[in-house]
């Protein structure tokens, strides 16, 4: 009998039929299934007096770090919904796509992270999905998010590279700390964390970090120092490590050079940088051009001693959201 060849798929039909849930997911910036905690909506507003105060104080400064590039006022207005700051915003990109695809990609990432979690953080650091965070659940696994998985990888990297957990104490300075993602996770991860200080040049980020870290009950050892208070509150020798995750890539060269000199003046002996997209250390200039910022850090006295992909399995790196990211570890010379 001759088999009639059937077309692989009825011509013209969608290969993937989208449900209403799929469409909702792909067009939503944040997940509202976890309600905001009491008081959050009333406080996380553009007219909050603390945010106004920070905006005015930052606007009165004349610092190279304040030259707007990716983070200009219109972008912040358009793409940083204050109450839902852990959804997709200027602070954290989520890469929305078909939910089944995202779920699979996060499962691959979860397994990758779990296999490298020497500190055993995944079962200890919980994800509650608060403030619009996209989360993923699988049978027998803890609920995860980009915030959690990225932080677990970073904290294990810091441990592998610097062996911090065995020290009596260690102190971190986070430049461009966003809403305090890594500060919150680091406090949960290390009992010997004596200080985790967040600084930023964007008042909305400072405001959110102050609010979030207080809400999570992690201050101290976490704290936030506003840009106009840096000279009053920070002293040379106060920190063992500075971190900069996806932040220098969103600044101008001039801003990175200023931060580099400032870190060197504070005698911060080590600096961990994670740039955006790929192994190169590139800025975001006012005209949207890019500039290699390695010379700016070298001129400040920072020598790169290690650089390696965040996701060390190339097959996994192709599939997951942080697959393009690299760690760059610097030491201060002299």
Judged by the rule CB under 6 A, the positions of this chain that interact with ligand SAM are: 65, 71, 91, 175-178, 181, 200-202, 205, 245-247, 250-251, 255
The CB-of-12 to ligand SAM minimum distance in angstroms stands at: 41
Locate 108 and state its tokens: 């691959």
The CB-of-305 to ligand SAM minimum distance in angstroms stands at: 21
Residue number, 171 or 246, with CB nearest to ligand SAM: 246
Residue number, 99 or 328, with CB nearest to ligand SAM: 328
Residues whose CB is less than 8 angstroms from the CB of residue 220 and which lie 6 or more positions away in sequence, other chains included: 195
H-only helix segments in the chain = 20-26, 40-43, 49-59, 73-79, 99-115, 146-162, 181-189, 203-215, 230-233, 253-265, 294-300, 314-317
Which residue, judged by CB position, is nearest to ligand SAM in the bound state? 178
Residue number, 176 or 260, with CB nearest to ligand SAM: 176
The CB-of-246 to ligand SAM minimum distance in angstroms stands at: 4
Residue number, 99 or 158, with CB nearest to ligand SAM: 158
Residues 58, 68: contact at Cβ < 8 Å? no
Residue number, 152 or 202, with CB nearest to ligand SAM: 202
- Nearest to residue 215, comparing CAs of 95, 84, 39? 39
* Buried/exposed code over 323-333 (b: 16+ C-beta within 10 A; e: otherwise): bbbbbbbbebe
Count of H helices and E strands in the chain? Answer: 12, 9
CA atoms within 13 A on the CB side of 101: 13
The CB-of-323 to ligand SAM minimum distance in angstroms stands at: 16
CA atoms within 13 A on the CB side of 8: 2
* Residue whose entry in the numeric block shows the structure tokens 């910022």: 293
Locate 310 and state its tokens: 């965040």
Residue number, 203 or 221, with CB nearest to ligand SAM: 203
Residue 218: what are its φ and ψ, rounded to 5°? -115, 15
The CB-of-139 to ligand SAM minimum distance in angstroms stands at: 29
Residues whose CB is less than 8 angstroms from the CB of residue 23 and which lie 6 or more positions away in sequence, other chains included: none
Residue number, 176 or 221, with CB nearest to ligand SAM: 176
Classify residue 118 by its DSSP letter: T
The CB-of-202 to ligand SAM minimum distance in angstroms stands at: 3
The CB-of-160 to ligand SAM minimum distance in angstroms stands at: 19
The answer to whether the bond into 163 is cis (omega within 30° of 0) is: no
The CB-of-258 to ligand SAM minimum distance in angstroms stands at: 8
Residue number, 73 or 104, with CB nearest to ligand SAM: 73
């Amino acid at each position: 009998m001759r088999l009639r060849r059937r077309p692989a798929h009825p011509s013209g039909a969608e290969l993937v039929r989208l449900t209403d849930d799929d469409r909702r997911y792909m067009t939503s910036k944040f997940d509202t299934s976890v309600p905001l905690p009491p008081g959050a909506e009333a406080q996380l507003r553009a007219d909050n007096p603390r945010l106004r105060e920070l905006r005015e104080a930052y606007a009165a400064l004349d610092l190279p770090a304040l030259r707007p590039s990716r983070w200009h006022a219109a972008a912040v207005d358009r793409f940083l919904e204050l109450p839902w700051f852990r959804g997709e915003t200027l602070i954290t990109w989520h890469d929305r796509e078909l939910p089944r695809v995202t779920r699979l990609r996060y499962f691959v990432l979860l397994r990758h992270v779990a296999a490298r979690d020497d500190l055993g953080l995944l079962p200890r650091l919980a994800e509650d999905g608060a403030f619009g965070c996209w989360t993923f659940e699988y049978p027998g696994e803890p609920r995860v998010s980009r915030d959690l998985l990225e932080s677990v990888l970073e904290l294990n990297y810091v441990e592998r590279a610097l062996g911090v957990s065995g020290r009596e104490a260690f102190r971190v300075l986070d430049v461009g700390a966003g809403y305090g993602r890594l500060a919150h996770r680091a406090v949960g991860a290390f009992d010997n964390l004596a200080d985790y200080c967040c600084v930023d040049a964007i008042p909305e980020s400072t405001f959110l970090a102050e609010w979030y870290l207080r809400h999570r009950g992690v201050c101290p050892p976490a704290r936030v120092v506003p840009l106009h208070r840096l000279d009053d509150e920070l002293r040379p020798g106060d920190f063992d490590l500075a971190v900069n995750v996806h932040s220098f890539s969103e600044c101008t060269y001039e801003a990175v050079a200023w931060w580099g000199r400032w870190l060197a003046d504070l005698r911060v002996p080590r600096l961990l940088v994670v740039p955006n997209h790929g192994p190169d250390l590139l800025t975001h200039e006012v005209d949207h051009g890019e500039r290699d910022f390695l010379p700016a850090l070298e001129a400040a006295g920072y020598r790169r001693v290690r650089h390696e992909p965040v996701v060390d399995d190339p097959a996994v790196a192709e599939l997951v959201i942080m697959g393009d990211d690299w760690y760059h570890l610097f030491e201060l010379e002299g």
